[in-house]
Amino acid sequence: MFQETLGYFKHMTAIEMVDIALVLLIIFQMFRALRGSIAFNIFIGGLVIYVLWLLVKKLEMPLMSEMLDRLVSIGLIGLLVVFQPEIRKFLIVLGRRSPLGKNGFISRLFQANTLNKYIVEEDVIDEIANALKFFQEKKLGAIIVIAHSERFEFDTNTGNIINGTVSAKLLESIFSKSSPLHDGAVIIDRNNLIAAGIVLPISDSAELPSHIGLRHRSAVGASEHNDVLVIVVSEESGKLAIAYQGKLQIGVPIEEVKKEMYNAMTS
């Protein structure tokens, strides 16, 4: 059997080598993405059963082969059910991004921990978007700073260190009118809400409309000196605004804000 296996590898074509390499890459990425989660044990168990199924087929064991055939076919459906959230998010990202672009699926597939990053990005953006919709409905003012890179610096002594996972409920509690932190900004880096109640630098740009308030001027001020995307919810109108590189856009639709968040988090 060993000689037969060795002979198989000796006569492999380039396509077969690429096929094996891609399968190993996908397995490796799934291993890294699921490691430490409950689904990890299910993934390892399914992988063991599949390898055993291939071995039984190779050894021509008809009874075991029949049993594992049934188990594998049922198991595939079960895996689709178990991993449904991860698969859904992965397919959304795959469809949204250009395959060959800088942040495309093919280029990012070869980066470390890619699938896990896909899932984290989707979760964080969904949580922030849900919070923004809540603020709009309730006419709650808010200012959210999202790190575009590691090149940002704010005086966290003006607020409170949170170091918590980003969630809609956490953001809603911070910007509720009864919260002592609601007048400041929150800073988000990846999936971590670093601090809340932060005082941002106020822009003195003459290009800004005279009617905008301190939140919008603070958003522009923060984006002038740091590589960040700043999202503002107007307390008066409930409209969304974004500031980036010293430029302010007012009345931005939620879907456009989500796109900007994707750009900030994936660059």
Q: What is the pLDDT of residues 37-83, one digit of tens each?
A: 556 677 777 778 778 887 887 787 888 777 777 776 776 677 667 66
Is beta strand 247-250 parallel, antiparallel or unpaired with respect to 240-244? antiparallel
Parse the chain into domains and list their residue ranges.
2-115, 120-266
Q: What is the pLDDT of residues 203-227, one digit of tens each?
A: 988 888 888 989 999 999 999 888 8
Q: What is the pLDDT of residues 81-139, one digit of tens each?
A: 766 665 665 565 555 544 444 455 455 555 545 554 555 677 899 999 999 999 999 99
For residue 101, what pLDDT is reported?
47
CATH topology of domain 120-266: YojJ-like (1 (3.40.1700)
pTM exceeds cut of 0.75: no
